[in-house]
Amino acid sequence: MSEMIDSTKLEDLLPEIQKAAVMGDVEAMRTMGDIYYQGLLGEKNYAKAVFWYEKAVDNNDSVAINRLANIYLEGKPAQKDIDKAEELLKKAVELGNSAAMNNLGLIYRDDTYNKQDLQKAEECFKKAIDKGNDLALFNLGVLYFDLGKMDEAFDLIEQSIKKGNVKAMLFMGAIYYTGNGVEVDKKKAFHYFGLAAEKDDIEGLNSVAYMLEHGDGVEQNKAKAAFFRKRVKHLKGL
């Protein structure tokens, strides 16, 4: 429901959505959570988001479970609670939610959360991929890259790029620009940054502009660089 809401008409729809949520409509409960979590009425209200997500969680809504877990990972509205996030994600995984599989994999891959277990991370990402989760392609690729499994890593990351994942484009651009794990190849870096720029990604646009401005691995072209800088300003509303 929330994915289809026109925010310009939200104030008119809100009483109807809230009434449905109070009457037990699980999708409406989740939508109420989304409204406050995303700040669709203005400022975000994490406390109200948690209230409504918990209502949906009590009804085994796997999407709401995954989103509530993200709140605990972010530490909003209270302190971070990684154990609670892990518990929720495991519940969503049991319900077949591929986004939760991917997010659980991130908890186990990254040492940020003090729960690093690379074997579990790999298993989670593979489950998510089997469910058609495109983000997991990139995340498993990064795991393999870190482990030095370059062929497998590049294959997965390229698959992710073909599906439009901007993070994967930027990752490939960065490793070829810096020579992280590969030989420096600024033409390839420019290519991948360019793919991200085509998606109107600000980091991609800025990277392309910089390389053009300075003739860094490509032929210098300040006019083209200015075009990309102008696009960045437009996207930032400047």
pLDDT digits (tens, 9 = 90+) for 33-81: 999 999 998 888 999 999 999 999 999 999 999 999 999 998 877 778 9
Structural domain of residue 85, as residue ranges? Answer: 60-163
Q: Is a pLDDT exceeding 90 seen at residue 224?
A: yes
Tell me: do 64 and 151 sit in the same domain: yes
Tell me: do 132 and 188 sit in the same domain: no
Instruction: Report if residue 146 sits inside a domain.
Output: yes
Instruction: Report if residue 173 sits inside a domain.
Output: no
Q: For residue 126, what pLDDT band results from cuts at 50, 70 and 90?
A: very high
Mean pLDDT of 207-211: 98
Q: Is the dihedral of CA 10, 15, 21, 25 positive or negative?
A: negative
Q: Is a pLDDT exceeding 60 seen at residue 8?
A: no
Instruction: Report if residue 175 sits inside a domain.
Output: no
Tell me: do 97 and 155 sit in the same domain: yes
Instruction: Report if residue 72 sits inside a domain.
Output: yes
Tell me: do 64 and 145 sit in the same domain: yes
Q: Which amino acid, residue 103? A: N
State the total domains in the chain: 3
Instruction: Report if residue 70 sits inside a domain.
Output: yes
pLDDT tens column, 160-183: 999 999 999 999 999 999 999 999
Closest CA to 1 of 25, 27, 33, 36: 27
